[in-house]
Chain A
Amino acid sequence: MVSIDARQLSATEINRKIKEVAETSGEITILNPQARHNIAVGVLKPCKINVEGSVGYYGASLMDGPEVHISGNAGWALGENLMGGKITVTKDAGASVAASMRDGDIYVGRNVGARAGISMKGGTLLVGGNSGFLTGFMMQKGRIIVCGDVGDAVGDSMYEGVIYIGGEIGSLGADAREEEISEGELIELWDVLEQHGITEKPRFRKIVSEKKLYHFDTLERLEMSAV
């Protein structure tokens, strides 16, 4: 396994080292990241990346395939545009975690900031603690699971996808509504939690789109040609 000290390297150099390791599907450990931005960005092949400490903005973003474990915090836009793979953060993440993610899994052990899962288009975002304002803002697909509380305007302007909340809800956003959760879904969620070592079994509440804000009956041009 390769191990590098981030203190002596620029973000570009760090990412170059990671990509070298990814070429052989290897494993790399990054020491002393010092909450710097753009660590592990643009890695498009499966590999294992361990970060010993906090990362700044856009940590593990624009990624497809790797398994990233961050022992610390992440700044804004962790896992932005994730196409596939898995990201774990042991402590907190900032605002806009999982922004526009398309697939894969992101797990944050504790709290996240505002706009978690903004414009999310697939995959699963699991938050062990609380999530801030505008959770799931304009999400289009995928699943957000928050074990703790969420702030105001959860699910605001969401198109599709599901938000599950284990704790208190500040308020529902525009065009979001609560739907009855089935026992089957609960068991499935608890199973996801157990996979991440969470033993609690919250009675999750389920938030979906009311679908009154947008015209869902209008087909996209490509869809029309398929009809």
Chain B
Amino acid sequence: MCGISGIMYKNARRDGLANVGGDLVKMLDSLAHRGRDSTGFTVVGEQFDEDLIVRLWTEDANNSELALSNVEEAIGRVGGVVITKRSWGDFLRFTVNYEGEVPRLAEALMNTDGVVIHSIGEVSEVVKDIGVASDMEDKHHISKLRGTHGIGHVRMATESKVDITHSHPFWAYPFTDVTVVHNGQLTNYHKLKRHYQTMGHRFLTENDSELIAVYLADKLANGDKLESALSQSLDDLDGTFTYLVSTKDGMGVAKDRWAAKPLVTMQTDDVVAVASEEIALRSVFTDEELDRVEPQESEVLTWSV
């Protein structure tokens, strides 16, 4: 069991950014009973002065200064310029000006000793850690993150180890701003992973859910629309899944043919929210009369800002 949730303020580009981080904390806290191993967020939509936001994790929290300088050097080596850098505990965050190809930057970071990339985004960043949402607040201040939309996940690990890097959301290396949260198990993970590896894709973890992110990003990079990529995944992915994807300007959900994993949605003219359980939707919508809809098997839904 895991819990997923997402929220989008459909008019936020016109009306201003919303408290997406705060909403996700509330929703994921109310889903904590679905998984207490780890919690993660993607918040999307803030336009930064710099080209890219890079989030990383270092295995040596006592030596984060070294990690910061190693990463800065790696970014510089491929022509990037670090504008801001920050570390807290074992987490690192950089804002970078970079005009080159993102895969080249990602490769340089991947080859940097002692650090793991959590996300590279133009308008999004991934925050994930061990524990439940409310535990993370003091450390990561997620409820201060504003945006147009975001997705989140609480994990009860079944498929790979419990650590920060194997937590959701999974960033689709090396495609900016594509991240996925997943409730379920993929049964053709190894086969598809080998297929994408032979095509040159890299995987950062042993977690089956990372495959969905790479799968979708590959389709989007080849010109597919989000909705058609999600629909195609219903045939290509085996196993049980309800997953959420966030992109630069969109959010989508796909539910497997068995309807094995839960999801409910609620929306107004301005906001759409989705979650594994209604209890999470009730934590952000106060209107008791608002209808909630449970998507059925093989259903795909997308929204955009």
Interface residues of A (CB under 8 A from B): 34-37, 53-54, 56-57, 72-73, 75-76, 91-92, 94-95, 111, 113-115, 132-134, 151-152
The answer for the CA separation of A37 and B33 in the assembled complex, in Å, is 10
Give the Cβ gap from A41 to chain B, nearest Cβ, in Å. 15
Q: Which residue of A lies closest to B288 (CB)?
A: A53
**B216: min CB distance to chain A, Å:** 24
Contact across chains for A56 and B292 when beta carbons are under 8 A apart: no
- Within the complex, the shortest CB–CB distance from A138 to chain B, in Å, comes to 14
Residues of B within 8 A of A (CB): 33, 257-259, 262, 264, 277-279, 281-282, 288, 291-294, 296-297
Contact at A95–B259, with CB atoms within 8 Å? yes
The answer to whether A94 and B297 have CB atoms under 8 Å apart is no
Q: Is the CB–CB distance between A94 and B282 below 8 Å?
A: no
Q: In the complex where A73-B292, A94-B294, A114-B297 touch, is A35 in contact with B259 (Cβ < 8 A)?
A: no
Determine chain A's interface SS by DSSP, over half rule.
loop
**B294, A92: Cβ atoms closer than 8 Å:** yes
A to B contact number (C-beta, < 8 Å): 60
Residues of A within 8 A of B279 (CB): 34-37, 56
Besides A73-B292, A133-B297, 5 other A-B contacts (C-beta < 8 A): A91-B291, A95-B294, A132-B259, A134-B259, A151-B296
Task: Give chain A nearest CB distance to B183 CB in angstroms.
Answer: 13
Query: Which B residues lie within 8 Å of A134 (CB)?
Result: 259
Contact yes or no, A133 B258, CB < 8 A: yes
Complex formed: what's the CA distance from A84 to B288 in Å?
30
A73 to B266, CA, bound (A): 12
State A120–B33 Cα separation when bound (angstroms).
28
Q: Does A57 lie within 8 Å of B277, measured CB to CB? A: yes
Which residues of chain B are near A72, meaning CB under 8 Å? 288
Pairwise interchain contact B281-A111, C-beta atoms closer than 8 A: no
Give 15 pairs: A residue, B residue, CB < 8 Å, sorted on A. A34-B279, A37-B279, A53-B288, A57-B277, A72-B288, A76-B262, A91-B292, A92-B294, A94-B262, A94-B264, A114-B258, A114-B259, A114-B296, A114-B297, A151-B296
